[in-house]
Each structure stands twice: as C-alpha cells, then as structure tokens.
A = this chain, B = another copy of it.
Amino acid sequence: MGTVTADTLDELVAALPGGSVVTDPVAIEKYREDFARDGSAGTPIAVVRPEDAGQVQTAVRWAAAHRVPVVPRGAGTGLSGGSSAVDGGITISLDRMRTVSIDPQSQVATVEPGALNVEVKRAAAEHGLWYPPDPSSFEICSIGGNLATNAGGLCCVKYGVTTDYVLGMDVVLADGTLVTLGGKQIKDVAGLSLLKLFVGSEGTLGIITRAVLRLIPLQTPKATLVGSFPTMAAAAEAVVAIRGTVRASMLELMDSTTINAVEDWRSHGLDRSAGALLVAQSDAPGESGAAEVALIEACCAAAGADEVFTTTDPDEADLFVSARRNAIHALEHRGSVLFEDVGVPVPRLPDLVKVIADIAERHALEIALVAHAGDGNTHPLIVYDAADPGSTDQARAAFREVMAAAIRLGGTITGEHGVGRAKRFALPDQLGDDVLALTWRIKDALDPHGILNPGAVLPPRA
C-alpha cells in the first residue's frame, strides 16, 4: 500500500463536496471500531461520507490511484470486526446514503446501503408488504451491512436469509467502475450469479451502493409457544422433532445462563429455574397457526418439556421474543463479551451444546448460549474481564475452541455475523487450502491491488 501525503489527501477533499471528508481525530474515533471491539482497528487517515454512488466512485478511484486501503462501513453494528478501520486507509461510511423507496406493484424496495433494516421494514409495511430478514439488531443495523454479511435473524428458519431477498444491486468495484446487477425481475439466470457473490463478501470485492430487495405480503398474526426444558440437550431434541413436523416461523433457544442474565438486567418474566427456554412461533394463516403450535407442543412434550405456555396475544409474545433479542445487551452488563456465531447441522446441536459447556468449565468462563436453533446457528457469548489478561487469554482460547468444535461437527465458524477480522485466522481450518486458493483467485481477479477491506475475511497469504 502507498503512503498518503497531505497533498494527496487534499486531492480527495477537493474532489468531494465540503464536509464529506472527515479528518478530525475526535470525529474519526467513532468510525474506528464495530460492536466486536476486537482490538483489530487501526486509525484511518480520513472517513469519507458520500451522498451518492458517484461520490463513492470518486473516493474509490482516488484510493485505487494511490493504493490506499478502503474499508466500507454501514451502521457499525457488526460483530466480527468487518468494518474495523485500517491504519493509513480511508473508511467509507455509507451513513448518509439511506433513501428507501417502495414499488408496491413489483413488490420490491430500492434501498441505499445506509438505510436501517427497520426503515426498510417500516416503509414496506406502509404498503402491506414485508422485508423478512430480521437480525436481532434490526432496529440499529444497516441494510448495507446486512448485505455485506448475508445477515440472518429469527425468521430465517422459515423465510431465509438476506441473499434470498436480493434481486438487484449497484456495486462500485475496486477500480471505481459502477456496475448494476439484476433488477426488479424475480427470476434471472442471465450470466453468472454475480449478485450472490457480492452478498456476504464483507466489502472485500466491491462497495454496494444500492440494492433492490424482494418483499412479500405482510406476515399474518403469529401464535407463540414458550417451552421450558430441564436441559439444553432436551430442548435441542425438541427442535429436531419440530423441524420434521411443521415450518415454524421462529425457533429460538436460550440457556439457563442467558435466562438469568436477561432477568438480572430487566425482568421479562422468564422462569429462572429452567435449564433452557424454547421460543417458537407459527405464522400459518387463520386457525392453522394454533394448529401448528399444537403440533409443536406435542414435540416439546415428547422431548421432556417441564412446562409449555402458548399465546396468540402479540404483547405477551413480544416479551419472550424481546428477551431473546436482548440477550446480548443483558450479557454485556456482566463483563466484556466475545460474540460467537457457530453453526452445525441441526441434529448436532446437542453435541455442540455439550462441547461448549465443557469449554466453559475448562476455562472457568461464563458462556451464555442463545441459538437460532431451527437453523443450527448458535451464539455462545463468552463473558470475560477485559482488564484481566488471564481472563482475556482464557476467553480467546475458548473462542478458538468453540470454532474448532463447530468445524469438527461438520459446521461453520460463522452462520450470519461474517468472518470479519475476529475470525479470519480460523477460516483456513474450515475451508481448507484448495477452497482458500479458489477464494484468493476471485479476490485477486476483482481487487488486484488488494485495496478493498484488506485484513477482513481472508487471512494473510501463506
């Protein structure tokens, strides 16, 4: 990478409208890290806040000419350090590009990357439409970040993840070229699936400046079940059985540590004595929702649930769903947290639960476990004391061991958060040398000078 002089940076300032290039160190500070706070963040020479794709192109062309690293950034709520700033680079923050427009006839939203997920949902709802993907952070995370990580959420057990809703995209490539992929057509197989390649690429292949997202009719009222189990293993058995019976629109699990952390933080009326809580929903229309919940209830009973509560009252249901969504906040009140995001084939969930308990015990750490259980995607939240080097080392070791266990069980180091910088060292263990080499071939073809989000996803070359 080149070294940027003051004169060189002046070129960029001059090429963009006043106020677009932030160089004040205090103002820059809040763009350095994401929610992972993984210690990888450097200090950028500037933060660029473009108002449109043209300005993104200007910044990337400048960066390409001077070989300056470019880190794209949405709302900064990432949990893997994917938008950590790079020393000597620029961070392109998309927070000023946030228009959302709905085409109700085509059932699509055309969205700029800085728009929040919740803003897309709200705009769609005004037309009786729904944008399903719903990360727990949907009220504060940006669509750009969702696209960059191929974000999941709670409803994806039935409705799929971000990539399933992307119909079109504008992307600024590493040389500043703006390409438009796809459009408002629902099915399109003309040429390679480039659209899908950019989804989940975490800013390493291009910068998304606009997306066309598929919408569907608003979800019908939901029936909810909360099941209390003696152990996570029993709850996980129930999940496997439920998946074979109905298509639940939510299948979430919380372990005892999480339940108590949530209750300590703010009472949600959870049963503190439960070994595990399962929150399941059906959005089947009319009477079918209750019928599906009855089937779910039978699976819970067969798997040894201690107690089952069902409701069609949205407020009652929201209490349990928000308990699940608030798990991370609650845990953060107990110490620093390393956010895990491992996934396994669903029947291996009980094995993963056991291994994580062993790891927690061995390192004398609190590891709370919440899971998008219906997808086999778990978030072990490793609580530690950042001021204590011993505790920090234990936490880091546990973090590595959890990923290794997921790989051993035929799973993944990340189901929905992305690799970012926090997990890149473990990527080769999952992919193997040949897939890693294939990945580099794509990366080199699209970003020959390596200026796009260097250090994210891919570990240094062997």
Residue ranges of A at the interface with B (Cβ–Cβ < 8 Å): 103-108, 128-129, 149-150, 152, 156, 160-161, 163-164, 173, 177-181, 183-194, 196-197, 199-201, 204-205, 216-217, 240, 243-247, 284-288, 291-292, 343-347, 372, 375-377, 410-419, 423, 427, 430-432, 434-436, 438-439, 441-446, 457
Q: How far is the CA of A161 from the CA of B446 in the complex (A)?
A: 27
- Cβ-defined contact, B173 with A164, below 8 A: no
Q: Which of B163, B191, B216 contacts A431 (CB 8 A)?
A: B191
Contacts of A434 in B (CB 8 A): 177-179
Chain B residue with the shortest CB-CB distance to A156? B187
CB distance from A54 to the nearest CB of B (A): 15
Q: How far is the CA of A98 from the CA of B355 in the complex (A)?
A: 36
Q: How far is the CA of A189 from the CA of B129 in the complex (A)?
A: 27
Q: How far is the CA of A246 from the CA of B106 in the complex (A)?
A: 14
- Cβ-defined contact, A417 with B189, below 8 A: yes
- Cβ-defined contact, A345 with B181, below 8 A: no
- Cβ-defined contact, A179 with B435, below 8 A: yes
- Cβ-defined contact, A181 with B128, below 8 A: no
Q: Which of B217, B416, B432 contacts A246 (CB 8 A)?
A: B217
Sample of 13 further A-B pairs with CB below 8 A, known A217-B244, A217-B246, A444-B445: A106-B345, A149-B189, A150-B189, A164-B164, A177-B434, A179-B432, A186-B346, A189-B200, A190-B414, A192-B204, A193-B199, A194-B442, A196-B196
Q: Which of B160, B189, B287 contacts A415 (CB 8 A)?
A: B189
Contacts of A199 in B (CB 8 A): 193, 196
| Most chain B Cβ neighbours within 10 Å, of A178, A183, A192, A457 | A192
- Cβ-defined contact, A187 with B216, below 8 A: no
CB distance from A218 to the nearest CB of B (A): 10
